[in-house]
């Protein structure tokens, strides 16, 4: 039986173009800090990748600080900026952030306020405007607003531009976790309004363990790691040249319009679901590749296992390191009752998803759902 992998928001299979770029980069010793010919060749690969990624998101190449991925970028944005930037005194976190963000916020020791989301999963701009309307940057100090661009579980896209404008007006800074959005929708750093942007390569077919923090020119932050002077003293540690080369190649080959085309498959899945099944965030702007549905009485674990036995890899909300299914705080923040959240399923498509995926998902899933529903009736 052919496997059908529909868990791209957990990680996407490596694109062959990225694998080739990585293999090529692995074929010689590659320390981009060495002055000899091999080192200079490695540096060239790093700088080429930096340019390609910067071109894809419209930022100056020097704004890109390579690191190990989204988790590190989130931590550097929050901890590094809190310590070495304009000494922020408070953090505002959207209620649906990836766990890396609240974890970093907790480590910072700064007071944290949660920005609620609306029922459709988008950031509550009215709440933000009201709260920040009374914020006094002179007395209260600068703050950092942390909001993701697109949610990993529902695919819901936050109104980041508007949120960043509200924050700026109140004397604050904005960091945006764009890990799930990168290459799936257009990102223009020059107009987004974000001061810091967290990226990762592996959600769109690039290698795991490589990402970047994009930093507005002139903005100070304290590096998390000390040691070598790599990345202009902004991130110590020998460059992961093959992974950087793979990330750079991804920026050259990934196409937002290819991702847009996946919305057709996602929409066919959603349109074919039986009555009584709801799709979270369906009325909000969403990533074209993600659907998060809830099926009364059909537990998330059972759905994931059923689909797995039928050869289809999907997940219950976000993948978590223990491999266990946890209640989704994202759905909780959207006001979804716990028993409903316990029956949610995330299907996330990607660059290798075949056109027939919708039909196969629907046949497998609805057969099992109807069997379970008729047993319960
Ligand atoms: N931020 C978001 C929104 C994510 O979905 C993830 C991964 O699931 C991360 C951050 C962490 O990224 P990485 O796996 O590159 O550390």
Cβ contacts of residue 372 below 8 Å, gap of 6+? 297, 298, 302
Is 9 in contact with 290 (CB distance < 8 Å)?
A: yes
- For the Cβ of 200 lying below 6 angstroms from any atom of ligand 1, the answer is yes
Whole-number pLDDT of residue 322: 45
- For the Cβ of 98 lying below 6 angstroms from any atom of ligand 1, the answer is yes
Query: Distance from the CA of 191 to the center of ligand 1, in angstroms?
Result: 23
For a pocket test of ligand 1, which of 9, 12, 69 has the largest count of ligand atoms closer than 8 A to its C-beta? Answer: 69
Whole-number pLDDT of residue 332: 95
- For the Cβ of 155 lying below 6 angstroms from any atom of ligand 1, the answer is no
Query: Distance from the CA of 197 to the center of ligand 1, in angstroms?
Result: 13
Is 332 in contact with 338 (CB distance < 8 Å)?
A: yes
For a pocket test of ligand 1, which of 75, 78, 98 has the largest count of ligand atoms closer than 8 A to its C-beta? Answer: 98
- For the Cβ of 69 lying below 6 angstroms from any atom of ligand 1, the answer is yes
Whole-number pLDDT of residue 371: 82
- For the Cβ of 70 lying below 6 angstroms from any atom of ligand 1, the answer is yes
Query: Distance from the CA of 104 to the center of ligand 1, in angstroms?
Result: 13
Query: Distance from the CA of 322 to the center of ligand 1, in angstroms?
Result: 16
Query: Distance from the CA of 229 to the center of ligand 1, in angstroms?
Result: 26
Radius of gyration of the CA atoms of the chain, in A: 21
Residue nearest to atom 9 of ligand 1 (CA): 70
Catalytic residue among 18, 59, 292, 320: 320
Q: Is 59 part of the annotated catalytic residue set?
A: no
Residue nearest to atom 14 of ligand 1 (CA): 70
CA dihedral 276, 280, 281, 283 (to 10 degrees): -10
Query: Distance from the CA of 238 to the center of ligand 1, in angstroms?
Result: 22
Whole-number pLDDT of residue 323: 56
Is 376 buried (19+), middle (13-18) or exposed (0-12) by CB count in 10 A?
exposed
DSSP for residue 124: -
Report residues of the chain scoring pLDDT below 70. 317-327, 376-377
Ligand 1 atom with least separation from CA of 74:
10
- For the Cβ of 179 lying below 6 angstroms from any atom of ligand 1, the answer is yes
Rounded to two decimals, the pTM is 0.96
pLDDT in tens, 306-344: 999 999 999 996 544 445 556 689 999 999 999 999 999
pLDDT in tens, 278-316: 999 999 999 999 999 999 889 999 999 999 999 999 999
d(CA 146, CA 168): 13
Whole-number pLDDT of residue 318: 53
Is 355 in contact with 299 (CB distance < 8 Å)?
A: no
């Amino acid at each position: 039986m052919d496997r059908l992998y529909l868990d791209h928001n957990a990680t996407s299979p490596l694109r062959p173009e990225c694998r080739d770029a990585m293999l090529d980069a692995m074929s010689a010793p590659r320390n981009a800090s060495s002055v000899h010919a091999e080192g200079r060749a490695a540096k060239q690969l790093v700088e080429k990748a930096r340019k390609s990624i910067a071109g894809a998101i419209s930022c100056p190449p020097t704004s890109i600080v390579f690191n190990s991925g989204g988790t590190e970028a989130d931590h550097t944005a929050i901890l590094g900026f809190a310590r070495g930037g304009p000494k922020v005194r408070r953090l505002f976190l959207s209620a649906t952030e990836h766990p890396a963000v609240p974890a970093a916020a907790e480590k910072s020791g700064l007071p944290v306020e949660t920005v609620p989301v609306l029922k459709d999963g988008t950031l509550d701009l009215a709440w933000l405007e009201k709260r920040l309307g009374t914020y006094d940057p002179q007395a209260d100090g600068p703050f950092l607003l942390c909001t993701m661009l697109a949610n990993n579980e529902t695919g819901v896209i936050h109104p980041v531009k508007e949120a960043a404008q509200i924050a700026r007006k109140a004397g604050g800074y904005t960091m945006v976790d764009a890990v799930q959005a990168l290459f799936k929708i257009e990102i223009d750093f020059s107009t987004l309004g974000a001061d810091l942007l967290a990226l990762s390569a592996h959600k769109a077919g690039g290698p795991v363990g490589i990402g970047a923090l994009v930093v507005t020119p002139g903005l100070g932050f304290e590096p998390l790691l000390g040691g070598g002077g790599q990345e202009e003293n902004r991130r110590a540690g020998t460059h992961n040249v093959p992974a950087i080369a793979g990330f750079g190649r991804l920026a050259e080959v990934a196409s937002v319009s290819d991702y847009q085309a996946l919305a057709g498959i996602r929409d066919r899945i959603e349109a074919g679901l039986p009555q009584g099944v709801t799709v979270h965030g369906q009325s909000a702007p969403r990533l074209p590749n993600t659907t998060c549905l809830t099926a009364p009485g059909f537990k998330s674990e059972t759905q994931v296992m059923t689909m797995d036995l039928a050869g289809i890899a999907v997940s219950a909300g976000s993948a978590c390191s223990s491999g266990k299914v946890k209640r989704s705080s994202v759905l909780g923040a959207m006001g979804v009752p716990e028993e409903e959240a316990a029956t949610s399923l995330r299907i996330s498509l990607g660059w290798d998803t075949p056109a027939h995926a919708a039909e196969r998902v629907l046949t497998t899933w609805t057969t099992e759902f109807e069997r379970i529903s008729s047993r319960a009736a």
